[in-house]
Amino acid sequence: MKSLKIKNLKKKFKDISAVNDINLEIKEGKIIGIIGRSGAGKSTLLRMINRLIDPSEGSIEFNDINITSLKGRSLRKWRSECAMIFQQFNLVERLDVLTNVLIGSLGRNYSLLNLIGIFSKEEKINALRNLDRFDLSEKALQKAGTLSGGQQQRVAIARALMQKPKILLADEPISSLDPKNAKRVMDDMMKINREDGITVICNLHSLDVAKKYCDRLIGLSDGKVVFDGTPDDLTAEISKELYDLDNE
């Protein structure tokens, strides 16, 4: 069974232990919710998975390849296999929606100069098809900045699909959205999970949303795993411990 294995993972920022000895195995094809208070280490964990930051100690393996030591071309390949979306969509607002999606096929290092005429017809058709999956193809030629937040996040998901990821990492993808748009974004992430088998690992503030969409919840507190189970396993008492004990 293919999986992501996190072993004794630690990240220190000076004297702060943001992630403090995390061990997890995440099987392919699930929707995983990472929950916990502000500062618990959720974003740090996701950033280490896609190598935006490097761990202080420990390792992350994907299908038995140690991704924490990858360099150069193999690191670029890993980064395309695990796409990431953020709270603030990160689209290029003055470019049209289709071009934003096409940028997803370039990987992380592109310059805007590269954008002139470099996309093949095939890539454009693929980008339009990805937009169409989320009912956004009629927005293809509109500037990304003119779309609603929810639409922009769904464009960001379409863009992520261009890199044919095996994993989608989502760091608070719905935090700045109203409930209706949040639902559409979560539904679309569920769609790519169920239809394409993409593993989704998602940091979520809303416990209700996490319980509704996730197959498994991982609760962090002070950089440690303090809960790991199904939504049904999460008792009111544990939820309280995860969220209510301080006043944030």
Ligand X SMILES: Nc1ncnc2c1ncn2[C@@H]1O[C@H](COP(=O)(O)OP(=O)(O)OP(=O)(O)O)[C@@H](O)[C@H]1O
Closest approach, Cβ 119 to ligand X, in A, equals 34
Token reading at 206: 């809303």
Site residues for Mg ion, window 35-64 (CB under 5 A)? 42-43
Site residues for Mg ion, window 144-163 (CB under 5 A)? none
Q: Of the candidates 35, 40, 60, 160, which one interacts with ligand X according to CB under 6 A? A: 40
* Of the candidates 166, 194, 185, 184, the residue with the CA atom closest to the CA atom of residue 89: 185
When the beta carbons of 161 and 220 are compared against Mg ion, the nearer one is 220
Closest approach, Cβ 172 to Mg ion, in A, equals 6
Centre a 10 Å sphere on the Cβ of residue 180 and count the other Cβ atoms it contains. 9
Q: Which amino acid is at 248?
A: E
Q: 93-127 burial, b if ≥16 CB within 10 A, otherwise e? A: eebbbbbbbbbbbbeeeeeeeeeeeebeeebeebb
| Site map (CB under 6 A) of ligand X, residues 42-81, x = contact | xxx-------------------------------------
User: What do you get for the CA distance between the two ends of the chain, in Å?
Assistant: 39
Residue 181 near which of Mg ion, ligand X, none (CB within 5-8 Å, type-dependent): none
When the beta carbons of 5 and 10 are compared against ligand X, the nearer one is 10
Binding site for ligand X (CB under 6 A): 13, 16, 18, 36, 38-44
